Amino acid sequence: MRLIPDEDLYQGFFYYVLNWGDYLAEGGTLEAAAQTGQSPNPFSPQATEDDRKIITRASFHCARALGDMKVAPSEAGRQFFGLTAETSWKPVPPEELRQRQLGDQHADERAMIVRQELDNLRFQLGQTSFDALDSYVRSIYQASRGRLVRGRLTDRQMLANYLHYVAWLDSPLANVRHHPPGLSMADPMEEVPTEEDRTELRAAEQAASGLSDSQEAALHRLADEFLTALLEAGKRTFPPGVPASGPLAAVEAAAAAIPSTDPPAVKERRRFIANLYVDQMKSKLDSVTLGVVEKRAHVLYGAVRIPEVVPVTDSDSKPKALVQR
């Protein structure tokens, strides 16, 4: 079961209802759709003719308000995957950040349109019929109730991201394209920075942060160790019997206890490593250097928002707001 917000689930469902109507109008049959296994009937066997008309009318109203698009059940919720606290380490230029904010605002406006249509649909069908529809829709989408939140990075996540970014600025590993998932040092669609580029970027970052040469050198030593630990931990995601090269030192003993073949456990191991090196940063850097680093991390990542879909509990089964800011 996938966690999908009501607004996203029913946006996909409303368009699917209209696509289904087009399919039947063009000569499609229930039997042919059933054979594919990917095009379930959007109406449950218990739905009455009046129910189908009300649902179709609601779908038309919503689609007209949102604009034309096509969303299959398997595609619902996909826009919430990708950006995480661990993959947001590369600073975002102000213009791109503004575009993200505008995109979030646009998504919220669309979600409100779907929510209003859902409220109308609930009123027209009645609560009993609407609950039956909701159960059926969730069964064909394999979806459980979720709620979209956009959270700030914690102070520790900002520090871990900055450490990752500092390592990228001067590490030769920046030229290696094939890293464990989520740890790529360069976007494969972007040009890989040259040694000269990295030198210029590192100098610009030092000037922006206000770190002295000795402070920056201490930070980069720690960042290089952090990157090595992350990459070594990524190698541990291969099946047992494929050894990882190089020692993990203190990280090995603790991280090795977490199974390496389960994706959630892999993420947990990487988070453990990030937390370990944030602790080392706090203990190894003097208070003045740490203060400069913390201030710079807040400048680079303080405005970043990470989208996440969380389960809906009984207490907030009907959220008062679409987004927590």
The tens digit of pLDDT for each residue in 155-186 reads 999 999 999 999 888 775 544 333 433 444 44
Q: CA–CA separation, 260 vs 244, rounded Å?
A: 12
Lowest mean pLDDT among 77-81, 138-142, 279-283, 285-289: 77-81
Cα–Cα distances in Å, from 69 out to 117, 150, 202? 17, 25, 44
Q: What pLDDT band is residue 206 in, cutting at 50, 70 and 90?
A: very high
Lowest mean pLDDT among 134-143, 199-208, 215-224, 313-322: 313-322
Where in 136-217 does DSSP place strands (E)? 143-152
Please report, for the chain, how many H helices and E strands are present, in that order. 11, 3
Where in 65-223 does DSSP place strands (E)? 143-152
Q: What pLDDT band is residue 30 in, cutting at 50, 70 and 90?
A: confident
- Per-residue pLDDT, 321: 41
Q: How far is CA 10 from the centre of its chain?
A: 20
Both tokens of residue 161? 């991201």
Please tell me whether the overall predicted TM-score, pTM, comes out greater than 0.75 for this model: no
Q: How far is CA 217 from the centre of its chain?
A: 33
Domain ranges (residues) in the chain:
2-153+309-316, 155-301
- What whole-number percentage of the chain has pLDDT above 70? 74
> pLDDT per residue over 62-117, tens digit each?
998 887 554 444 444 444 445 777 778 888 888 888 888 888 888 888 899 999 99
**Phi and psi dihedrals of 138, rounded to 5?**
-65, -30
Helix (H) or strand (E) run with residue 67 in it: none
Q: How far is CA 320 from the centre of its chain?
A: 23
Name the residue with tokens 């956009």: 150
**Phi and psi dihedrals of 204, rounded to 5?**
-65, -40
- Per-residue pLDDT, 161: 93
Both tokens of residue 116? 């209003």
Both tokens of residue 321? 């707001």
Is residue 291 predicted with pLDDT exceeding 60? yes
**Phi and psi dihedrals of 71, rounded to 5?**
-135, 120
Q: CA–CA separation, 307 vs 313, rounded Å?
A: 18
- Per-residue pLDDT, 262: 42
Q: What pLDDT band is residue 312 in, cutting at 50, 70 and 90?
A: confident
Q: What pLDDT band is residue 313 in, cutting at 50, 70 and 90?
A: confident
Is residue 231 predicted with pLDDT exceeding 70? yes
- Do 25 and 80 form a contact (C-beta atoms < 8 A)? no
Is 287 buried (19+), middle (13-18) or exposed (0-12) by CB count in 10 A? exposed
Highest mean pLDDT among 81-85, 168-172, 207-211, 243-247: 207-211
Cα angle at 172 between 301 and 246, to 5 degrees? Answer: 100
- Per-residue pLDDT, 214: 94
- Do 41 and 33 form a contact (C-beta atoms < 8 A)? yes
Q: What pLDDT band is residue 192 in, cutting at 50, 70 and 90?
A: low
- Per-residue pLDDT, 252: 35
- Per-residue pLDDT, 316: 57
Lowest mean pLDDT among 95-104, 158-167, 229-238, 286-295: 229-238
Q: CA–CA separation, 270 vs 282, rounded Å?
A: 19
DSSP state of 313: P
